[in-house]
Chain A
């Protein structure tokens, strides 16, 4: 009661200071949080935001500073899974004086943050394969997270703090190609040409409508004139509002010592038959896909590796978890290691095991928590990479970026690094289509490479002759993962997500799976800090 009165008085003062004089003014949720933040710090903001039901809707998590561990017991932390979320949690908790132990089922640290180089193993379940790339520093690809958007603040914070060097990552390349069997006899088209013509045709249609005064009710005469000019410039139309091609599509010839000759516009009906407009065309407008993007120099696994020299934690690798039991005083975990089952007891446990695999781990969690785990579904994504004898794409003016095709490979990625080197590693496929990925999953690793090679040759006819070796990562076939990105149906997410965000006893589920940004490093860090905020609060309230 006293606390509430205090809060009321404090709020009034803070409102006055914030220039909100009239007490009848409604405080916006955001204003409220700002005020709470001033008084109670980020942990208090989390609690209040949680109460307001605002947490899952936030754009980004605040970075939490974990308060110093209290004297006495309660400092032993068990981390299941050595991916980004738990590495981040260990880093923050160790700074506060906690002792961390990792139990990781695979033989490596990093989870799905996986960069593949010469000699690495792709641990596909039941059929592991070696990576045969030449041993050169630019010959790698990021089988896991590959892109770092500007607004992923937690990730940038750690890269800055831990000295991870970043470079630009080309996501949107207008010189790359789009190809669809249904359009232009399957001939690939430069994306800049497709986009320039598509905008030209759309603008011309709109210009015609404006000229016919179709919008006279919506717009005044002056606005209509402005709209006409807007449309004219948007599509690069002539003065009368007709589209006759544009230099934006790239010249057919000339442009330096001879006058530039414009390409004739493509047939609009053919453009419409190319499904590029359904996704690839707008893809770089996506919330986390807009330029400029970044990547870690030398491979994105440098992000997780940067944590390691700062950790004192014990890492128990090759140790699959058998059971998890919440006890009144902590969490007991049984794992299998070196031919024995071993039980370890901790004060708290942070668990990043993929939810669909957690269904196969015995536990004593509460009903709704277990239901939420069982309802989670695994994502199916595939990346297929080839080492090529030449960087043939550079001869086609392509430096980084993505070509799009209606073939099951879906996207072809050209490396943003290693420009002008002799060889390169390019992605012949990154597909997130469930159907395509399942189809690749059913093929033998060798058959996948063969199929991908043939498909890419529809976009780059000579592709097979440059191929030296390749490797496929079908995430739903990867040992210890069996999926990439975890999701619920919209209905299940509504029903279970908040439950999964909260701990069950002293056990926290974490990882990108416990975020609205699954499949991204920032999702993992956000989940980590959400859990840390809760942890911080409970430990220091106790």
Chain B
């Protein structure tokens, strides 16, 4: 068995040298360091998010916010409540990351070029959404650009299905209800001003217009 594997390996190494297809290096591209490539398996090749895995767009987020959230996950402040199924998928990803690694990932992802998500929700009331968003803009900015001082992440260009689910999660106390998560607690209170899924839809529908 061992012998066979070695043979195959040698064989592969030899043929690898004579690629039949021309390969062009794209020198301008920003490349994810190999040790963080596992993040892209869920969050998309360019950190643009992946609806099939319920993983949000990270490319638009700041390094401060990403660092805070990774730290929250690692310290079991986020992604531990029994019904937070998706958060609990993310949480174990952070357990074996050191503080330095969290910093490095946050720096790298924070510097990525923004990839704006495409709108997927339909049928929202943009006028009502704008009115409701007035309550959000104090922290998240008039254009949904986010505010570092308020620890409020950027919303414009985020996946609408993610915003929708997070607003639901805050309302259902699946997020922001853990000691140590002050900005989360604020957001939990703020989410109560959205009466129901209809209101969430409208506000998310409006946020979709901010990216353009």
Interface residues, chain A, with chain B CB atoms under 8 Å away: 76, 78, 99-101, 105, 125-127, 137, 298, 305, 308-309, 312-316, 318, 320-323, 334, 336, 339-346, 355-362, 373-374, 376-378, 438, 441-442, 444, 477, 479-480, 482
Contact = CB atoms under 8 A, between A and B. Distances in A.
B20 A314 contact: yes
A346 B21 contact: yes
Given A340-B31, A360-B50, A444-B92, A323 B19 contact: no
B22 interface: yes
Interface string B41-75: 11111101111110100000000000000000000
Interface of B: 1, 4-5, 7-8, 11-12, 15-16, 18-27, 29, 31-34, 37-38, 40-46, 48-53, 55, 85, 88-89, 92-97
B175 to A, nearest CB: 17
A361 B51 CA distance: 11
A343 B23 CA distance: 6
A320 B40 contact: yes
A266 B141 CA distance: 71
A126 B39 CA distance: 9
6 contacts: A336-B32, A336-B37, A345-B22, A355-B52, A373-B52, A482-B42
A337 to B, nearest CB: 9
B48 A360 contact: yes
A442 B21 contact: no
A130 to B, nearest CB: 14
B23 A339 contact: no
A360 B18 contact: no
Contacts of B37: 320, 336
A355 B50 CA distance: 11
A477 B95 CA distance: 14
A373 B44 CA distance: 14
Contact of B21 (A345, A355, A378): A345
Given A126-B95, A315-B12, A374 B52 contact: yes
B29 A341 contact: yes
A308 B94 CA distance: 37
A101 B93 contact: no
Contacts of B44: 359-361
B92 A127 contact: yes
A343 B50 contact: no
A126 B51 contact: no
Contact of A344 (B12, B23, B27, B48): B23
Contact of B1 (A76, A137, A479): A137
A530 to B, nearest CB: 23
Nearest to B94: A126
A321 B37 CA distance: 11
- Among A322, A355, A373, A444, the one with the most B-chain Cβ atoms within 10 Å of its Cβ is A322
B20 to A, nearest CB: 4
A305 B26 contact: no
Closest 3 pairs (CB-CB, A-B): A360-B44, A360-B50, A356-B52
Contacts of B40: 320, 360
B15 A374 contact: no
B53 A482 contact: yes
Nearest to B89: A441
The secondary structure that dominates the A interface is mixed
B48 A125 contact: no
B48 to A, nearest CB: 7
Contact of A341 (B1, B26, B89): B26
Contacts of A359: 44, 50-53
Given A126-B92, A444-B92, A344 B46 contact: no
A362 B46 contact: yes
Given A101-B19, A360-B53, A126 B93 contact: yes
Nearest to A320: B37
Given A356-B52, A359-B50, A361-B44, A298 B8 contact: no
A360 to B, nearest CB: 3
B26 A334 contact: yes
- Among A342, A346, A479, the one with the most B-chain Cβ atoms within 10 Å of its Cβ is A342
Contact of A322 (B33, B34, B45, B94): B45
Contacts of B33: 339
Contacts of A362: 45-46, 48
Contacts of B32: 336
A339 B20 contact: no
B16 A314 contact: yes
A315 B7 CA distance: 15
Given A126-B94, A360-B45, A479-B41, 8 more contacts: A127-B95, A308-B11, A334-B26, A340-B27, A360-B40, A360-B52, A374-B52, A442-B89
Contact of A78 (B1, B21, B52): B21
A346 B8 CA distance: 25
A95 to B, nearest CB: 16
B82 to A, nearest CB: 9
A341 B95 contact: no
A314 B19 contact: yes
Given A126-B93, A341-B26, A342-B26, A442 B19 contact: no
A407 B27 CA distance: 54
Contact of B43 (A308, A315, A360): A360
- Among A125, A126, A359, A378, the one with the most B-chain Cβ atoms within 10 Å of its Cβ is A126
Given A127-B95, A357-B53, A344 B7 contact: no
Given A344-B21, A344-B22, A346-B21, A339 B34 contact: yes
Contacts of A78: 21
Contacts of B12: 308, 315
A374 B44 CA distance: 13
Contacts of A321: 45
Contacts of A358: 52
Contacts of A355: 52
B73 to A, nearest CB: 11
Contact of A99 (B7, B20, B27, B93): B20
